[in-house]
Amino acid sequence: MAEPNYMADIVGVFGFPVAENPTGVMQNAAFQALGLNWLYLNFEVTAEHLAAAVQGMRALNNFRGVNLTIPHKALSSPVWTKSRPVRR
């Protein structure tokens, strides 16, 4: 029997506003169907806090990545200077 794992891997979206973004419904259904202990969340991040949010995301070992809403996509290139290898 496999050991229980109580720590989910986290993915999500950074944007403002994101309260009405339905992407998590689809993503979480897919994770569940695949038997993955992953969770997709909406993170409300204003443009002026994007760099700090990315820095915080990098500090979390179980944070796997984010999508960005517009205008965050256009503002994001300076904050993506370092990446982590993908865990398979």
pLDDT at position 6: 84
Active site residue 73: yes
Work out the mean pLDDT of the chain and round it to a whole number.
85
Provide the pLDDT confidence category of residue 82 given band limits of 50, 70 and 90: low
Domains assigned to the chain: 9-79 (3.40.50.10860)
Backbone CA torsion sign across 7, 12, 14, 19:
negative
Return the number of other C-beta atoms located less than 10 Å from residue 31's C-beta: 18
Q: What is the mean pLDDT of residues 28-43?
A: 96
Catalytic residue among 29, 32, 60, 73: 73
Q: What is the mean pLDDT of residues 7-12?
A: 94
3 state SS for the chain = CCCCCCCCEEEEEEECCCCCCCHHHHHHHHHHHCCCCEEEEEEECCHHHHHHHHHHHHHCCCEEEEEECCCHHHHCHHHCCCCCCCCC
pLDDT surpasses 60 at 45 = yes
pLDDT at position 74: 67
